[in-house]
Every structure is written in structure tokens, then in C-alpha cells.
Amino acid sequence: MNTGLLLAALPLIGDDPDRVNQIRKIVVALAITGKLDSRAVSLRPAQIIESVVRVKTELAKQGAIPKQKQYAPVTQVDLPDTFSDPSQFARLGELARIEKGKTGIQQARSGSFPLVVTAAERASCDHFDFDGAAAIIPLVSSTGHGNASLNRLHYQEGRFALGTILAAVFPHEPKLISARFLFEYLSAFKDELLVTRMTGTANVTLTIGGIAEVPIPLVCPRVQKRVDELMALCDQLESARVEREATRDRLTVSSLARLNTPDSETFQDDARFMLNALPALTTRPDQIKQLRQAILDLAVRGKLVLQDPKDEPASELLKRIAKEKARLVQAGEARKAEIDPANSEGMPFFVPSNWVWTRLGSIGDWGSGSTPPRGNSELYGGSVPWFKSGELNDNRVLAGSEETVTQLAIDKGSFRLNKPGDVLLAMYGATIGKVAILAESAVTNQAVCGCTPFAGVDNQFLFLFLLSQREQFHSASEGGAQPNISKVKIVWTPFPLPPLAEQYRIVAKVDALMALCDQLETSLTDTATARSRLLDSLLAEALEPA
């Protein structure tokens, strides 16, 4: 493999940040194995070391550097799994001096010199600490709180100030070992070479001594220069990706905004554009998630399918639902709930003229469950499925609970017996807003509210509506460590009721569009897998001896 093959493969690899970092590793692997430059190597590793030692000896005589520490030879154990020849490496402390930053970041005063900090952007300072080209390594974890991680390293030239929580690496002989090459190599392998050397519990840090022990490949200067050129290409890939993704995000947000707050005159054109542009606009999982939410929002606003004047108006349907509710309450088959009727004033959005606003408590019988005492074994392990909120995962078909309860638990406890087809809604903690449709008779714990829709309300449409309202349920939740939304707030939630026939059409349309989203997600996954395999193949070939 050579650089020509690598460059030819770049369009197939893509420019995802993880893949670009893998490309950087491939470039370094090619350099170390002698495949990056087809011309003869001008200096061998031993010759580079000899030259560096001569320079260090002279610097020590001049008092420019202190007496040098003797380092143990690099062994296979020291190397990342990627490499297998320790003779190609030396310790960083043998090749460079490592200086801790001298400027307190919080106390620094603005000025004309760059101040290198852990963030991507430079600050400024009224003085400089160092003058020269350096690879700069943070000494503290990027995430803290016991987690070892480094988001980024820096490369800096000229006069600059350096924060006290970073260290600068200055090669003893820049003509043989360039600071830029050290930066590129350490950045590509920071997790293997630097993060693994971080220590501490609450405050995870990296020491100067630990940095000095890092193995560095001994690559001739011409090859290092070629590495720098290819790394610059990686920089361009990343910059182009950032700019392209920003443009795509703006277009996606604009397109979704046009759908979520539709203009009646342009909506059909806006929707047609969005559907035609789906593959171009949705290249990341988060974008598909936004698209799914937009589909749900359109569905419950009456903007996803055309209204049919032949449909029975929802106002008449609501009257029939009210009669059905009264009959069930009188028969003891539904709970009596006094819910004020809704009107169009103060509702979250406009609905079509043949729809009507009501409330969730008016279109179904709602009730939550309970948890039998854990100390009583007679209450668990029976034949009745008992679902907890964590088992709701937006399932259209929910069956087979993790735990079951006995009939004795039902008789002694305060349970609502949910029927097949009932819609469940999670009310507690991180699961607030999760929904499911039951496929079997079952009970739930107190963190789940179940609903039996009255005749005239399609349980699939109710399921989609609840899905669309997840953020609203989260916003309405109360409590500290484990927030929850009460049953009272649920039943008083405004509900846009379409004609029954339109409910069925909406569900069918949403299913078709969600299937398209599934295809897009599968395509993204398949593409990512293929690119990862290509990268693994390229890296394996790069590591083969020349």
C-alpha cells in the first residue's frame, strides 16, 4: 500500500471524526513501516538517536538543558497494539524537553500573545512563556470526576503563553524530530499513549514524567514532512465536514420549521421538498430523530394527510364518545372523571375545521398501578403480567413482562387491570413519556398510567399523539431526584380529535414515513460498517513490513 492508494480511498472512507482519526493512524503507520515515501530513507532510527544525543550533549555543556535522565529501552509492552517493532521507537523524554505551563489561566490579562488553553480556541495574554514550535498536551482530564480523557492536543509556533494545566513538548533537534510530527502522532494515538497514563480518582491528571515515557517513532525528516502534508489534508477534511454539516443543519432546521409551523399556501411544496431531500438532509442519527418528531407533529396537527369532507366531523364523534363514556361509568366499567371541556382558545396549535379539541381524560379511561410489598412472596410469581415503566420503549406490541404477580396481589392491592389494546404511558424519572400498546391483559406499577380508549378513538392514533408529546410531558413533570408527571396532568392534557376515518389514514401515513426513516437509519449503519471495514483493512496493510 502507498499514499496513492490511501488518497484514492479517502472518498470511500468519508470524513466522520472517528474515521478521520483512523486515517491519521494509518498515515503514521505507513510512515513507521517505510511505506509513506517510496524513495530511500535518508536516516535510520539509530542514526536519528545518535544525532539527537550529540545535540543534547552540546546543549547540556552550554547549560541550556539539565543533566539528562537515562530511560529504559522501549519494549513491545509500551507500544500501542498497532505497532510491533520497538527498535523503531525511543522515549519522548530522550527526544524533547517537556515544560509545564507558567500562566494561570484565570488570572491571565489579555494582550498580544496567544494563550494556549485546553479549549480549541486560543485566549490571549500580555506576555509569553515560550518561543518556538511545540506540541502541547493537557495535564488534566477533559471530563474530570474520575474519568480519564483528553479531547484534544494543540500545536503552537512562535511566542506564546501556556496555561499551568498544560505541558509543551520542544524537540531537542527540530531538524530531525519536528514538533508538528509529534503533535500529529500524539493526537492520533492520544487514547493509547496519554490517556492510559493518567492517574487519580476525583482529579485525573497526567504527569510530566508520564509524558516523558511515551514511545515516539523514529522517522526520517523527509517522511515526517510527508506526514505533515497528509495530516493537513485530514485537517481540510474535518474543516470541510464542519462547514458542510453546519450548512446541512441550517437547511434541515429551516425545512423542519416550515413543516412544524406550516404556511397553508406553501405547505405542500415544503413537504414535497423535504421528502425529496431526505437522503441529503439526514446523514446523522440525530437528524433522523428530528425528522421523526416532525412527522409526529405534522400528524397530530392535521397536516400529514388531506381532510375528506365526507368524514363524520369530530364534533359529532365527540358526542358519541361522551355517550359511550357515560354508559361505561354507569355500568362501573370506567372511572368517573370530571374534566372540563376544551375549546380552541389557548390550545397549543390550530387544527383543521373538522377536528375538535378535547382532553385526554374525555377520550379514555385512565388509571395507574401499584407495587405489592416486596417482602410478601405470595404476591409475586403468579400468572398476571406486571409491567414497570422501564419496560415501555415505544412498543407497538408489549407482551412478556419481566415480573409477574399473583391474583392475591390483585385482590389485595390497588391495581387497574389493563386490557389488550390499552395504551400505557410512563410517568416517572428518565422514562417519562415512554409509551406502549399492550398485547395482553396486565397490570403495572405506580409509575405507569394505562388508558382504555373509548369507541371512536383509535389506540394507534392515541399512541402517536402521546409519542409526539414527550417533551411536553417532561416539561410538566415535577420533583427532585425522580421527577414525575401526575395522572391529573395527563388527563387534563389537550387532545386534538380528528374524524375516526382520518385517524386511520394518519396512522397509515406515519407508519409509511417511519419505515422510510428506518431505511435511512439502516443505510447510515451499513455505510458506517463498510467504511470501518475498509479502514481496518487499510490499517492492517499499512502495518505490514515494507
Q: Which CATH number fits the domain that encloses residue 467? A: 3.90.220.20
What is d(CA 139, CA 142) in angstroms, rounded to the nearest whole number? Answer: 9
The reply to whether 143 and 204 lie within a common domain is: yes
Backbone phi, then psi, for 489, in 5-degree steps? -65, -35
The reply to whether 187 and 66 lie within a common domain is: yes
pLDDT, position 533: 65
Classify residue 411: in a domain, yes or no.
yes
The reply to whether 117 and 255 lie within a common domain is: no
Residue ranges of the chain with pLDDT lower than 50? 1, 542-543, 546
Classify residue 521: in a domain, yes or no.
yes
The reply to whether 94 and 162 lie within a common domain is: yes
Residue 289: count other Cβ atoms within 10 Å of its Cβ: 13
The reply to whether 264 and 212 lie within a common domain is: no
The reply to whether 159 and 278 lie within a common domain is: no
> Could you tell me if 418 and 424 are in contact, meaning their C-beta atoms sit under 8 angstroms apart?
yes
Classify residue 344: in a domain, yes or no.
yes
Among 88, 74, 80, 75, smallest CA distance to 223 is for 88
Q: How far is CA 63 from CA 51, 97, 208, in A?
A: 19, 13, 21
Angle formed at CA 356 by CA 351 and CA 362, multiple of 5 degrees: 130
Classify residue 378: in a domain, yes or no.
yes
User: Which residues form the domain of 158?
Assistant: 43-219
What is d(CA 543, CA 308) in angstroms, rounded to the nearest whole number? Answer: 66
Residue 364 identity: G
Classify residue 542: in a domain, yes or no.
no
Residue 40 neighbours by CB under 8 Å, 6+ apart: none
- Each residue of 302-323: pLDDT tens digit? 888 889 999 999 999 999 999 9
The reply to whether 148 and 69 lie within a common domain is: yes
pLDDT, position 275: 56
What is d(CA 126, CA 113) in angstroms, rounded to the nearest whole number? Answer: 6
pLDDT, position 437: 97
The reply to whether 343 and 434 lie within a common domain is: yes
What is d(CA 34, CA 1) in angstroms, rounded to the nearest whole number? Answer: 10
Classify residue 229: in a domain, yes or no.
no
Residue 170 neighbours by CB under 8 Å, 6+ apart: 96, 97, 98, 99, 130, 132, 133, 134, 179
The reply to whether 286 and 333 lie within a common domain is: no
What is d(CA 452, CA 372) in angstroms, rounded to the nearest whole number? Answer: 23
Radius of gyration of the chain (CA): 32
What is d(CA 22, CA 214) in angstroms, rounded to the nearest whole number? Answer: 20
- Collapsing DSSP to helix, strand or coil, 330 comes out as helix
What is d(CA 310, CA 501) in angstroms, rounded to the nearest whole number? Answer: 10
Burial class (CB in 10 A: 0-12, 13-18, 19+), 450: buried
The reply to whether 385 and 523 lie within a common domain is: no
The reply to whether 95 and 183 lie within a common domain is: yes
Classify residue 17: in a domain, yes or no.
no
Which of 187, 219, 251 lies at the terminal end of a domain, its last residue?
219
- Collapsing DSSP to helix, strand or coil, 183 comes out as helix
Beta strands 395-398 and 435-438, pairing class: parallel
What's the total number of domains in the chain? 3
User: What are the residue ranges of helices labelled H in 189-334?
Assistant: 190-193, 208-212, 221-260, 267-276, 278-281, 285-301, 314-330
Under DSSP, the state recorded for 542 is H
pLDDT, position 266: 58
Classify residue 1: in a domain, yes or no.
no
User: Distance from CA of residue 490 to its chain's centroid?
Assistant: 30
The reply to whether 191 and 274 lie within a common domain is: no
